[in-house]
């Protein structure tokens, strides 16, 4: 049961209003549960003057206006509502056309004739006209319809009608198409109702001609796909109304800059785009921050503008120099160059002076409630008993707070916002707290520190940020952001929110990441299993792959998206496939003695670093020794052969990559008579045998000398569940097999001189990178990502 919410002005319950305009009960109740949509729809109903109700068609259109109306065109909303209420605009198609027109002409005086033409106002399409058009469409597509019968894509027929007659009633169009199908094809048969049989995919031809690829060009990408930053307005447009803040006791605040404020701002910036990447220095950055960087730095770069790296350092207890240094270093590793590095603490004096002005204007007060009391009063929407204390008294107390004369926890400065609002982020948020803690950047000058909600928006304004971009959980704070800037009478940036980047089988919460690190569930902030940027770098992931992944996702506002890990791995493979040379490593070596090869003979064979290596390019090859003792993977041998197995078995032949076919002639077992400890085999120097299986291998570089021994670390998903962050016992979901160490792997001599960060493809095993734990005595490799399933057949 959904409780009816009373309107803030004592008027009619929102639920009753929504039912009156024809919304079904379920939609109405779901709407009431969403504060933002409730506020928007209530405002639309009053603006349209239909508080006594209207027909369902108009009501559904009003609901669409409340949820989808372009924010930059709010000044034209009352006009659109008149067209809806008078039934001049009465279909979803007309409404979508209206949105498009108003969004494109938001700042101009509405040209009625052009608007009505764009929306089909006054255009009446009769049933006879629709019927004639449907007949034409069927006639044009008749052979295809007769062939496909009821498997015909009705959506395509519908789209063809809409293209020629966009203002036709969609219900009538659908009805006529269905009737026409029955008239042409007759009643459905059993075959029509049968599910289509999936055809087996034919094997592609070995060589695909270049022309065949060009014959089927990819569909043209949208403007947003070509340029994801095209959705953002220019700085000169920041005089438009793009946000409304609703109050319980005063008129709606329509957010825009005055001409004077905007001119002053544009003079300071030269009309350039200014953005900021504002991390808190309280932990290491993760892949979600890579998306934020892509948006903040990327927009500035695309518009030839500037992006600050601003440390949001308002909490001295959680911040460390280690994190500050890491952030600057990892931002540059990701390929971004800050226009300027700033700290919120650089502005502590300005922030303090503006807080004094806020008190003087009656917009803030010193409060003495405990955190528990504040929480209780907010839940009950009750004003603090100190909310209406005299301005002079708050000024005196705030000065005493600054001078360290009041104990920590005994007073805060709170903004006087709207305790009766439907938005809890307007419940008199705290602006300043007392903390007798030295600041890592500002030293011991201050004992009062501003909150994020107070400082963030002001510093955006002081730095003349044009676009303040943040994740969707901050959308509910937009009202507070603009309330404060409006109360201070200073420049207002354009605010826009995008969805957080969440990836399956991982956690992104800094609090959870901190627990994993401090409680030693993982090996530090740069553990290769973590989605921290330091961890991804140590694993061998490149900045290019990360940025391509983020770009591929797009700048979406979808609030519930969890991106599959596979998508990130795809971009990692795409990058490493082009940059990582091939080589061979055996993880779990099984000794194979070649009985028909002369003892002491070592052949130096050519192996390819790249699949398309040209024979005349010596740099594309490396030398690999082939001798009497070679090593293969334990998993590449079985005692029993089978049809679908490509590895080695008694009496069976395989090809050693870049070398010769070998045939297993004898199996040496351990004392338990089960464990295979060694194989004997014969090689085919003439290569007349053509086995199906191809194995990677490593040989003794000289008689009696072991191959290069290396350590290899294999990583799997850190968590078993796709969305562990939603679990109560999320630590219990950790994958006990997320890390496997192979301490005695063998590698070809090429790897002897590998250095930290070098990347390779170990054939049939995946892509690997040299780890920081490597020493002069032993190299350590991390597996970055496996090969595609079709490429890896180890043990199959």
Question: Long-range contacts: 278-281, Cβ < 8 Å, 24+?
Answer: 278/308, 278/310, 278/311, 278/312, 278/344, 278/456, 279/311, 279/312, 279/327, 280/311, 280/312, 280/313, 280/315, 280/318, 280/319, 281/311, 281/312, 281/313, 281/319, 281/320, 281/323, 281/324, 281/327, 281/440
Closest by alpha carbon to 557, among 224, 303, 301? 224
| C-alpha–C-alpha distance, residues 371 and 459, integer Å | 26
Tokens read off for 357: 């002005």
Instruction: Of 505, 508, 571, 501, give the one whose Cα is nearest residue 738.
Output: 505
- SS3 for 585-642 is EECCEEEEEECCCCCCCCEEEEEECCCCCCCCCHHHEEEEEECCEEEEEHHHECCCCC
Strands (E), 217-350: 243-245, 253-255, 274-277, 306-311, 340-343
Retrieve residue 484's tokens: 């404060």
Q: Is 500 a catalytic residue?
A: yes
CA distances for 318 relative to 152, 283, 342, 521, 611, angstroms = 62, 9, 18, 21, 50
Q: What is the CA radius of gyration of the chain?
A: 34
| 709, containing H or E segment | strand 708-715
Q: 36, 500, 591, 717: which one is catalytic?
A: 500
CB atoms within 10 A of CB 100: 13
C-alpha separations of 594 from 290, 588, 685 in Å? 51, 19, 12
Which residues, in sequence order, are bridge partners of residue 506? Answer: none
Distance CA 746, CA 742 (A): 10
Q: Cα–Cα distances in Å, from 126 out to 129, 154, 176, 297?
A: 5, 21, 13, 53
What is the β-pairing status of strands 430-434 and 448-450? antiparallel
Give the span between the Cα atoms of 481 and 417, in whole angstroms: 11
Catalytic annotation present for 657: no
Q: Are 319 and 572 in contact (CB under 8 A)?
A: no
CB atoms within 10 A of CB 472: 15
Closest by CA position to 291, among listed 463, 468, 537, 470: 470
Q: Is the dihedral of CA 528, 534, 540, 544 positive or negative?
A: positive
Catalytic residue selected from 12, 47, 96, 280: 280
* DSSP H helices in 521-561: 533-539, 543-553
Helix or strand or coil: residue 509? coil
- 3-state DSSP assignment of residue 378: helix
| Torsion from C-alpha of 362, 364, 367, 372, nearest 10 degrees | 130
Cα–Cα dist 291/469, whole Å: 11
Is 601:660 a contact under the CB 8 Å cutoff?
A: no
- DSSP-derived pairing of the beta strands 661-669 and 629-633: unpaired
> Of residues 510, 529, 537, 764, which has the active-site annotation?
510
SS (H, E, C) 132-196: HHHHHHHHHCHHHHHHHHHHCCHHHHHHHHHHHCCCCCHHHHHHHHHHHHHHHHCCCCHHHHCCC
Q: How many CB atoms sit inside 10 A of residue 441's CB?
A: 16
Contact 645, 652 (CB under 8 A): no
Tell me which residues are annotated as active site. Answer: 280, 500, 510
């Amino acid at each position: 049961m959904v409780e009816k919410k009373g309107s803030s002005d004592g008027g009619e319950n929102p639920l009753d209003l929504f039912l009156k305009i024809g919304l079904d009960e379920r939609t109405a109740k779901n709407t009431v549960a969403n504060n933002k949509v409730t506020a928007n729809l209530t405002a639309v109903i009053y603006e349209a003057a239909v508080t006594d109700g209207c027909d369902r068609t108009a009501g559904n259109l009003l609901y669409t206006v409340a949820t989808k109306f372009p924010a930059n065109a709010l000044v034209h909303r009352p006009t659109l509502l008149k067209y809806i209420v008078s039934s001049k605009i009465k279909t979803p198609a007309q409404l979508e056309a209206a949105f498009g027109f108003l969004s494109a002409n938001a700042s101009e005086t509405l040209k009625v004739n052009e608007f009505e033409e764009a929306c089909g106002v006054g255009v009446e399409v009769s049933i006879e006209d629709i019927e004639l058009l449907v007949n034409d469409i069927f006639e044009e597509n008749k052979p295809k319809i007769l062939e496909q019968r009821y498997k015909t894509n009705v959506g395509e027929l519908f789209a063809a009608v809409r293209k020629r007659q966009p203002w036709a009633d969609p219900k009538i169009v659908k009805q006529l198409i269905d009737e026409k199908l029955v008239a042409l094809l007759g009643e459905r048969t059993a075959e029509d109702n049968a599910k289509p049989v999936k055809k087996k995919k034919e094997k592609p031809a070995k060589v695909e001609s270049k022309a065949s690829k060009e014959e089927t060009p990819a569909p043209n990408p949208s403007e947003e796909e070509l340029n994801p930053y095209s959705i953002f307005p220019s700085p000169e447009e920041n005089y438009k109304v793009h946000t409304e803040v609703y109050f319980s006791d005063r008129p709606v605040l329509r957010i825009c800059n005055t001409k004077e404020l905007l001119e002053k701002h544009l003079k300071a910036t030269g009309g350039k785009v200014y953005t900021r990447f504002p991390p808190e220095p309280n932990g290491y950055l993760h892949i979600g921050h890579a998306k934020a960087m892509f948006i903040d730095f990327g927009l500035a770069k695309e518009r030839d503008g500037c992006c600050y790296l601003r440390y949001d350092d308002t909490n001295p207890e959680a911040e460390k120099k280690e994190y500050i240094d890491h952030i600057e270093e990892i931002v540059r590793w990701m390929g971004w160059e800050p226009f300027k590095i700033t700290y919120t603490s650089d502005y502590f004096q300005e922030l303090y002076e503006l807080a004094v002005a806020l008190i003087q204007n009656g917009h803030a007060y010193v409060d003495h409630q405990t955190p528990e009391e504040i929480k209780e009063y907010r839940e009950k929407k009750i004003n603090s008993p100190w909310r209406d204390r005299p301005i002079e008294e708050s000024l005196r107390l705030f000065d005493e707070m600054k001078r360290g004369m009041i104990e920590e926890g005994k007073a805060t400065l709170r903004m006087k916002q709207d305790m009766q609002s439907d938005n809890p982020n307007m419940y008199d948020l705290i602006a300043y707290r007392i903390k007798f803690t030295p600041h890592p950047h500002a030293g011991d000058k201050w004992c009062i520190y501003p909150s994020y909600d107070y400082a963030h928006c002001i510093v955006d304004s002081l730095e003349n940020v044009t676009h303040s971009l943040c994740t969707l959980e901050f959308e509910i704070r937009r009202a507070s952001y603009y309330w404060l800037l409006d109360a201070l009478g200073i420049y207002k940036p354009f605010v826009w929110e995008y969805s957080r980047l969440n990836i399956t089988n991982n956690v992104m919460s800094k609090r959870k990441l901190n627990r994993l690190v401090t409680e030693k569930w993982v090996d530090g902030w740069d553990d290769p299993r973590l989605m921290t940027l330091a961890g991804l770098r140590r694993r061998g992931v490149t900045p290019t792959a990360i940025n391509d992944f983020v770009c591929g996702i797009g700048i979406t506002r979808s609030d519930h998206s969890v991106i599959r890990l596979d998508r990130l791995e795809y971009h990692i493979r795409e990058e490493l496939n082009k940059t990582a040379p091939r080589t061979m490593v055996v993880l779990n070596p099984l000794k194979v003695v070649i009985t028909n090869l002369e003892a002491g003979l070592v052949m130096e064979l050519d192996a390819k670093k790249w699949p398309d290596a040209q024979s005349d390019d010596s740099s594309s090859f490396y030398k690999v020794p082939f001798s009497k003792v070679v090593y293969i993977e334990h998993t590449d041998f079985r005692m029993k052969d089978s049809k679908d197995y490509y590895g080695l078995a008694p009496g069976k032949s395989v090809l050693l990559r870049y070398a010769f076919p070998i045939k297993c002639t004898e199996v040496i077992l351990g004392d338990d008579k089960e464990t295979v400890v060694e194989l004997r085999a014969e090689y085919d120097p003439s290569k007349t045998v053509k086995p199906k299986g191809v194995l990677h291998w490593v040989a003794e570089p000289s008689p009696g000398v072991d191959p290069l021994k290396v350590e290899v670390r294999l990583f799997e998903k850190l968590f078993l569940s796709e969305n562990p962050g939603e679990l109560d016992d999320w630590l219990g979901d950790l994958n006990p097999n997320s890390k496997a160490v192979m301490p005695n792997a063998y590698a070809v001599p090429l790897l002897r001189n590998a250095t930290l960060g070098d990347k390779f493809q170990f054939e049939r095993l995946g892509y690997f990178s040299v780890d920081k734990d490597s020493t002069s005595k032993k190299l350590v490799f991390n597996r970055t990502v496996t090969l595609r399933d079709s490429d890896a057949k180890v043990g199959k």
